[in-house]
Amino acid sequence: MDETKFDNRLSAAWWALRIGLGAGPIIVGLDVLQQNRRLGNVPEPVGYESRAREQYDIMHAVGVIEIIAGSLVLSRHMKVGNYVVMLWLLGISINLVTTGMFFDLAMRDLGLAVAAFALSQLSALREDTIAVRESSPTLRATA
């Protein structure tokens, strides 16, 4: 492959992964915040108030982190965002495995973490290709 061209097939994969791994966490984060708001309105039995408040705070933080991670992937800071999403999904997978249940969900999140890693590698390749193109006056004119 010519180092100065980012293959159209790679470009399509890069965009699909970027949109999916960017929009997905934002949608999930908004859903977590919405679910959390609804759960916060449910009256808890006596004695569970402190536990419910702690759980509410944790889920609120989870929703915010997911929105930030997805926003990073869709922004110009996607290099960092890709790794944040990857590590977040690995953490979720590990947490699911440690419960002794939900192995199917753990594998799904592990697959998404691998996709985030693939996006980071495609982004590096794309960035290098653009840098080579911009540094060469001949290539810039033909691009």
Domains in the chain: boundaries: 8-142
- Distance between CA 3 and CA 118 in Å, rounded? 19
Q: Could you tell me the pTM of the whole model? A: 0.76
Instruction: Please name the amino acid found at residue 142.
Output: T
List the pLDDT tens digit at each of the 143 positions of the chain: 454 566 778 889 999 999 999 999 999 999 988 887 665 554 444 455 556 667 778 888 889 999 999 999 999 999 899 999 999 999 999 988 998 888 999 999 999 999 999 999 999 988 877 777 677 666 555 55
- Distance between CA 132 and CA 109 in Å, rounded? 35
- Distance between CA 86 and CA 73 in Å, rounded? 11
> Is residue 119 packed enough to be buried (19+ CB in 10 Å), middle (13-18) or exposed (0-12)?
buried
Instruction: Please name the amino acid found at residue 136.
Output: S
